Amino acid sequence: MREKNMFTDEYFMKQALLQAKIAADKGEVPVGAVVVCNNKIISKAHNLTETLNDATAHAEMLAITAASDYLGAKYLKDCILYVTVEPCVMCAGAAYWAQIGKIVYGTEDDKRGFSVFNKTIIHPKTEIIPGILQNECKQLISDFFYSLRGK
């Protein structure tokens, strides 16, 4: 009997969702990211734009920087970026320059996602997999903004 691989896209997206929940608990927009290399999480991050007062402190940017630091390399060709929300143009550009092998995201961002502005901003060799745990990712974002409007 073959052993089932527990390290699926869903498994790693759940790890990104845990990061997004940490962000929400801090009053940050709940976006979480993990970078995986050879089925191992080598970095994890969540939005810190409010905490750091830095518009560039997106989960993806922080996770890419930490992954590069961990590997001691600027290129992440053998890595997968899991992020709960479609990357913005800035984060997609960073993924391009890091030459991320694959980007897996949960829910689209129909206002600020890279695909709204420029679908070709992603490196041509980067594989894109959208919609992993989409409902959970979308619900977390929706609940966050709903609670902000209620205050």
- Residues forming the active site: 60
User: Could you tell me if 58 and 47 are in contact, meaning their C-beta atoms sit under 8 angstroms apart?
Assistant: yes
Longest dimension (CA), the chain: 54
Write the DSSP string, 1-50.
Answer: -PPPP---HHHHHHHHHHHHHHHHHTTS---EEEEEETTEEEEEEE--HH
In which residue are the tokens 């929940």 written?
A: 21
